[in-house]
Amino acid sequence: MIEADSLSVGLKAIGAGLAMVGALGPGIGIGLLAQGAMQAIGRNPDAAGTIQTNMILAIVFTEAIAIYALVVALLIVFVLG
């Protein structure tokens, strides 16, 4: 029979893994941001400064979502118990 302690550890690991699935979206989003910025700079090199500034701001906000997923995963593993 499975012990309750090992079951809770396993379930916490599964929960943390599912929480980190939230990092897939930002990873794809940052790739699409960079792709769009490179295409825009290629079409209009004079606007490179503005495009890069907007791209960096968008990447910062997108990374925040991945950090939230990481915090939730860490809370599941280390705090809930």
Element (H, E) at 50: helix 48-74
The band of 1, judged by pLDDT with boundaries at 50, 70 and 90, is low
User: pLDDT by residue (tens digit) across 10-41?
Assistant: 888 898 999 889 889 999 999 999 999 999 99
CATH number of 4-79: 1.20.20.10
Residue 6 has pLDDT above 60, yes or no: yes
b (16+ CB within 10 A) / e for 4-15: eeeeeeeebeeb
Q: What is the pTM of this model?
A: 0.76
**Domain extents in the chain:** 4-79
